[in-house]
Structures are given as structure tokens and as C-alpha cells.
Amino acid sequence: MFSFGANWGVLVALELFLAGLGAGAYIVGSSIDLFGEKSWRRLAFAGALMSWPMVGVGLGILIIDLGRPELNTPSHLMNVFNNLSSMMTIGSTLLTMFLAISLLTTVFWVFKWHESLLRSIIEIAGISLGFGVALYPGLLLAFARGRVFWASPFLPWLFLVSAICTGLALVGLAETWLGRILFPFFSTGTEDAMIELSRTLRFGILAKLLILTLYVISVWQTKEVLTVLMGRLAPFFWAAVAGGLLIPFAIEEYGERVLKETGLRPIIYSRISATISFILVLLGGILLRYAILIGGQI
Amino acid sequence: MSKAVLVDIRKCIGCRACQVACKRWNDRKSEKTVLNATPGLEWTNPSDLSPRTYTYIRFIGRGSGDDFRWHFLKIQCNHCVEPGCASVCPTKALSKSVEGPVLYDVEKCIGCKYCISGCPFNVPRFDEEKHIIEKCTFCADRLAEGLKPACVAACPTGALSMHERNEVIQLAESARSNGAHIYGKDEVGGTSWVYVSDIPLTELGLPQHDSKNPTAYVTDMLLKVGLLGVVGAGALYGLGVYSKRRSRLEKTVHNNCGSTDKSTASPRKGEE
Ligand code: SF4
Ligand code: SF4
């Protein structure tokens, strides 16, 4: 219904979003583990733990959405790896490898092999693959020559930054609500980490806003821009901008001000505002992908 | 040898014999169609390609008063020399044959529909009933028997004619030297259906494309993406250096003033 007759509809938008979300959560989590304090590990674990289900569900949706469901057998689906110069083949390869490595990282966490050098190596490989997975949806669209609205080199970077923002939001959301329940075996010194996460998110939102502006300018000549900015898709696009970027930025900015003035964040404010802003960032991520994906096809 | 078709729309009278011949040869069932509602295209029917319509004639009215004229533009798969559809297809279900047609192997297709977006001419259609991609086949089965495509054989005016591709290019070039406009010689790396017209084909609605073939197009895009990445990484690095310096400076000022941090509940990173 919401696909407006486009060949790639809502489910593909959801798949592109989930792939980015999973990759983003992994990049955030593993970066925290590699470069953050030891006491922040709960967040790092959350990132790894949530990355593969997101990517896995995304892949599942992609397969369900294929146009020939009667042929969705493993041997037939292997055909997707036939053309190494197709971005879809490259993307499928990246997704498969990323899925394996994020699962492996989670195994390392579950067995508490915390100081293992091997885990660090796996995480570096996983982060690299994560960047590939986060960039691939944008490249997939940018390489499609029949869609002028997608033909912009800014698109892959927009999707990458969006993936990291949504990854930050997912990790933040998990910590806000499930941190103590899900990961009681980790230390609780995550307050600092949450403050850093919030700062990074604000920076990410600003970067996303900038890249989105540059992207729109780069495709300004196309007629699709009118449909997306002022036509049928405008509610989705502007909801993504206002709800997914501006409001969360304002919430996080206000939190930072309070922190600067008082030296602490009121717990109640923290929880509720963080939840709202994280959820808005996630919704914004999917709405933006949806508007761009459908906008390129109608 | 690679076959190609010259579509000289100056000779087309809009009789739609090619449309009918295509339907009959390829056993395309009829479908309910309506006249095109777009101003200037009113008599076009069917108004677009579909799984059951591999080709149609676009009726394009241009000019006004005594200068008004119809142009008849045949639309079908252009059987690109290096097809965009085949270059994005992950399964290699689409491929360019040495004889000229771009062929579809239904056995390999997974139904991802990437070819639809990858085609620079908006040609492939997905049949939601049969779950397959549909597009003009260049009558590859007729070609194999030494016959012309059904549409070419049916054309009463010679607007459609099949030759080797290099001959088609020669014919197109000689028309150009006499003031005609051509399309398909270079666009997207060249196509096997090459148009000749008395007004620019892009004015009649064919998309504006440069001469980059799919590989050059992707390489070009990738280079731009990479360049932006380098610029972005440089900007991030600069920002990092700047913010580190700033926070060091702030700390120094803070220490010199001898003030103490009020924060006890949430010390910031590096301040513990
Ligand atoms: S016109 Fe489109 S469908 Fe036909 S060969 Fe070229 S890219 Fe493929
Ligand atoms: S739908 Fe079929 S032919 Fe088209 S790109 Fe996908 S696998 Fe290839």
C-alpha cells in the first residue's frame, strides 16, 4: 500500500534499514570495546549482541520479498553470488560474512573471553565489514543507472552516517532499558559511556543533516526531488528530518546543557528523554530510507 | 556477428504494425489499455511497456497551428552493447549474446528486480503472476532461424531495418551528416537499436545519457564516493585535532582559575 507501485517497496526499505542498523550497532559496540573504558563493556556487548539479529532479520525479509518465492531454496539462492561485479552480489557477500563475524564476536562475549587478542582482531575485521554493510545499500542504489534520484556519491555516506546514528540509538536504548537486566554480569559504570554516546549521537545527527543537505543539492535537478520534498513522499521525508534529526538533536543538546550547568543529568530526564530521542532516531532512519528508496522509483 | 536495428522514425507512419506483430509472435496476451493522459502523448496506446507489451509506439505531438506534427517513437529494449541490466544482475540471468540480443535465463533469476532499476531506459518489467522478468527478446528465436525480428518484418515503410551493427552505425552517421539526429551510437556505451530522427531524440523523451558504459559509470561513481570519503575523513581528523586542543586549553584555563568541578554524580571521561 505504501509502496506506490514501486518495484522495491516498504520491505526493501526495511531491509536496507536493518542492515545499516545491525552494522551500526556492531561498529559502535566494537569501537567502545576497542577504544573505550573497560567499565563500558556492557554497551560493547549490547552492540555485538544486537547486530546479527538485525542483519539476520533484514536478510530474511530480503529473501521473503524476492519475486520468485517458489524458488527460494538454498541452491537457487546461491545464484546471487554469480556476478562479482554486481553490487547485489558484493552486498550479499558482505552481509553473509558480517553475519558470521558478528555471531562469532557474540560467542566471545558470552564465554567471557574478554582479554583475548583474537577478539580484538575479530572486532577490527567486523568493524571493516560493518562499514561495508553500512555503505552497500547506498552503493546499491547509486549504481542503478535507471534512477537519477539515487545517482549521487553522497548517498552511500548518508546511509553510512545514518547507520551509525541508528546503531548508537539502538545501543543506547538497550542500555537505558535492558542494561541491568540483560547484562548484570558487567560492571555498572556506564554513565560516562552514555554521556559520550549522547555526544557522538549529536555529532552524528549534525553530520547526517549536512550530508542529507548535500545529497538533496546533488539531485536537485531531478523531478523526483519535488515528489520527495513537496509531493506524496514529503510527509515521510520531513518526518525523518524533523522527528529523526532535529527533535533528537534538541533533546540531546538540552541534556548536555543541563549536564554542563549542574554537572549531572537528572535520572528521570535522562531515561525518558534518551528513550524518546533514541526511538526518534531509529524511526527517522527508516523513514529517510523509505522516502529515498520509493522517491527514486515513482 | 552482432545484429542491430536502425529505427528511422522519420519514415514511421504510426500504423502500429510492429506492435501487433510483436504481440502475435511472442504470444503476448491482450490487456486492458487506455490512451495516455499526458498532454502531447494523447494517442499513445498502450501508454507504457508491461509484461505483455514488449514494444509500443509513442505518439508525440510537437508544435502548434500549421507547424503541428506527430512523431512516432518506437519503444522497446535497446539491447545495449554493454547492458546496464546485465551488469547489475547478481545471478547473470541477463547477458548479451554475440548475435546481438540481450537474453534472459529464467532458470537463474531470483526475482530481486535490480535489473529494473539498473536499466538506463526503464525497460524490464516484472510479471507478478508468472514471477519472471519480461522484456523484448530481439526475437532471438527468429534470428537463430535467419529471420528478421517480427516487428522489423512487419514494418511497411522501412522505418525498421536490421543490419550488422557497424552498418547501422554507418547509416546513422550518414543520416547525421545530412542534418538528422541520432541516438544509441554512443549513449551508455552504445545500443543495438539505433535511432534516427529529424528532431533530437531526447526532446521526444528518450533519456539523456553520456557515453559511459556500465563499468565506466560504476568506476566513476566509486571514485566520487571515495573522494568524498577522503574529504570526510580529513574533515573528521581536523575536527578531532581542534576539539582536543580546545578541551586541553579549557582544562588549562580551568586549572589556572583554581576552580573545582562541581560534578560528583557523573564525572566526564578523562576527568575522574
Ligand atoms: S535497454 Fe535496458 S533492458 Fe534492454 S539491454 Fe539495455 S539495459 Fe538491458
Ligand atoms: S530480477 Fe532476475 S534478471 Fe533481474 S536482476 Fe534480479 S536476478 Fe537478474
Protein residue whose Cα sits closest to atom 5 of ligand 1 = B79
Put simply, the chain B residues between 38 and 57 with a CB less than 8 A from any chain A CB are none
Q: Judging by DSSP bridges, how do beta strands B56-62 and B193-197 pair with one another?
A: unpaired
What pLDDT shows up at residue B229?
Answer: 97
Work out the average pLDDT over A14-31: 97
What pLDDT shows up at residue A266?
Answer: 57
How far is the centre of ligand 2, averaged over its atoms, from the C-alpha of B48 (Å)? 21
Judged by CB atoms closer than 8 Å, whether chains meet at B110 and A153 is answered as no
User: What is the CATH class of B3-84+108-211?
Assistant: alpha beta
What pLDDT shows up at residue A90?
Answer: 98
Give the residues surrounding ligand 1 with Cβ less than 6 Å away: B 77-80, 83-85, 102, 119-121, 123-124, 135
Question: Which of A64, A83, A95 is the best substitution to test chain B (most B C-beta atoms within 10 A)?
Answer: A83
Task: Report which ligand 1 atom has the smallest distance to the Cα of B122.
Answer: 2
Judged by CB atoms closer than 8 Å, whether chains meet at B232 and A69 is answered as no
What pLDDT shows up at residue B262?
Answer: 42
Non-local (6+) Cβ contacts of A250 within 8 A are: none
Could you report how far apart the first and last alpha carbons of chain A are, in Å? 14
pLDDT at A200 over 80: yes
Q: To the nearest whole number, what is the mean pLDDT of chain B? A: 92
What pLDDT shows up at residue A21?
Answer: 98
Non-local (6+) Cβ contacts of B90 within 8 A are: A79, A80, A81, A82, A83, A86, A88, A89, A92, B110, B112, B114
pLDDT at A291 over 50: yes
Work out the average pLDDT over A150-174: 97
What pLDDT shows up at residue B271?
Answer: 36
Taking CA–CA distances from A78, the nearest residue in chain B reads: B91
What pLDDT shows up at residue B265?
Answer: 41
Q: To the nearest whole number, what is the mean pLDDT of chain A? A: 92
* Contacting residues of A for B230, CB less than 8 Å apart: none
- List chain B domain ranges: 3-84+108-211, 214-258
Asked if B269 is an interface residue toward chain A (Cβ–Cβ < 8 A), one would say yes
Cα distance from A76 to chain B (closest Cα, Å)?
A: 7
What pLDDT shows up at residue A82?
Answer: 97
pLDDT at B74 over 60: yes
User: Lowest-confidence range among A31-35, B15-19, B148-152?
Assistant: A31-35
How far is the centre of ligand 2, averaged over its atoms, from the C-alpha of B227 (Å)? 31
What pLDDT shows up at residue A187?
Answer: 59
Identify the helix (H) or strand (E) that includes residue A255. helix A247-262
Taking CA–CA distances from A260, the nearest residue in chain B reads: B263
Q: Which of B113, B126, B137 to mutate to test the pocket of ligand 2 (most atoms within 8 A of CB)?
A: B113
Of B111, B215, B261, the CB nearest to A68: B111
What pLDDT shows up at residue A265?
Answer: 61
Judged by CB atoms closer than 8 Å, whether chains meet at A192 and B232 is answered as no
Work out the average pLDDT over B228-242: 94
ipTM rounded to 2 decimals: 0.93
* Contacting residues of B for A153, CB less than 8 Å apart: 221, 224-225, 227-228
pLDDT band at A5 (very low <50, low <70, confident <90, very high): confident
Q: What is the pTM of this model?
A: 0.92
What pLDDT shows up at residue A192?
Answer: 79
pLDDT digits (tens, 9 = 90+) for A113-123: 777 789 899 99
Of A147, A157, A263, the CB nearest to B232: A157
Taking CA–CA distances from B86, the nearest residue in chain A reads: A86
Tell me which range, A5-9, A34-38, B21-25, is most confidently predicted by mean pLDDT. Answer: B21-25
User: Lowest-confidence range among A181-195, A233-247, B167-181?
Assistant: A181-195
User: What is the CATH class of A10-295?
Assistant: mainly alpha
Cα(B210)–Cα(A143) distance, integer angstroms: 15
Asked if B188 is an interface residue toward chain A (Cβ–Cβ < 8 A), one would say yes
What pLDDT shows up at residue A189?
Answer: 61
Taking CA–CA distances from B227, the nearest residue in chain A reads: A153
Asked if B131 is an interface residue toward chain A (Cβ–Cβ < 8 A), one would say yes
Cα(B93)–Cα(B209) distance, integer angstroms: 25
Could you report how far apart the first and last alpha carbons of chain B are, in Å? 77
pLDDT band at A36 (very low <50, low <70, confident <90, very high): confident
pLDDT at A26 over 70: yes
Taking CA–CA distances from A193, the nearest residue in chain B reads: B269
Tell me which range, A68-72, A191-195, B134-138, B241-245, is most confidently predicted by mean pLDDT. Answer: B134-138
What pLDDT shows up at residue A41?
Answer: 85
pLDDT digits (tens, 9 = 90+) for A46-66: 999 999 999 999 999 999 999
* Contacting residues of A for B108, CB less than 8 Å apart: 79, 82
* Contacting residues of B for A87, CB less than 8 Å apart: 88
Percent of chain A with pLDDT over 70: 94
What pLDDT shows up at residue B266?
Answer: 42
Task: Report which ligand 2 atom has the smallest distance to the Cα of B113.
Answer: 1
What pLDDT shows up at residue A257?
Answer: 83
* Contacting residues of A for B118, CB less than 8 Å apart: 143-146
pLDDT digits (tens, 9 = 90+) for A268-287: 557 888 899 999 999 999 99
User: Lowest-confidence range among A176-180, B202-206, B213-217?
Assistant: A176-180
pLDDT at B260 over 60: no
Task: Report which ligand 2 atom has the smallest distance to the Cα of B92.
Answer: 8
pLDDT band at B119 (very low <50, low <70, confident <90, very high): very high
pLDDT digits (tens, 9 = 90+) for B165-192: 999 999 999 999 999 999 999 999 999 9
pLDDT digits (tens, 9 = 90+) for A74-86: 999 999 999 999 9
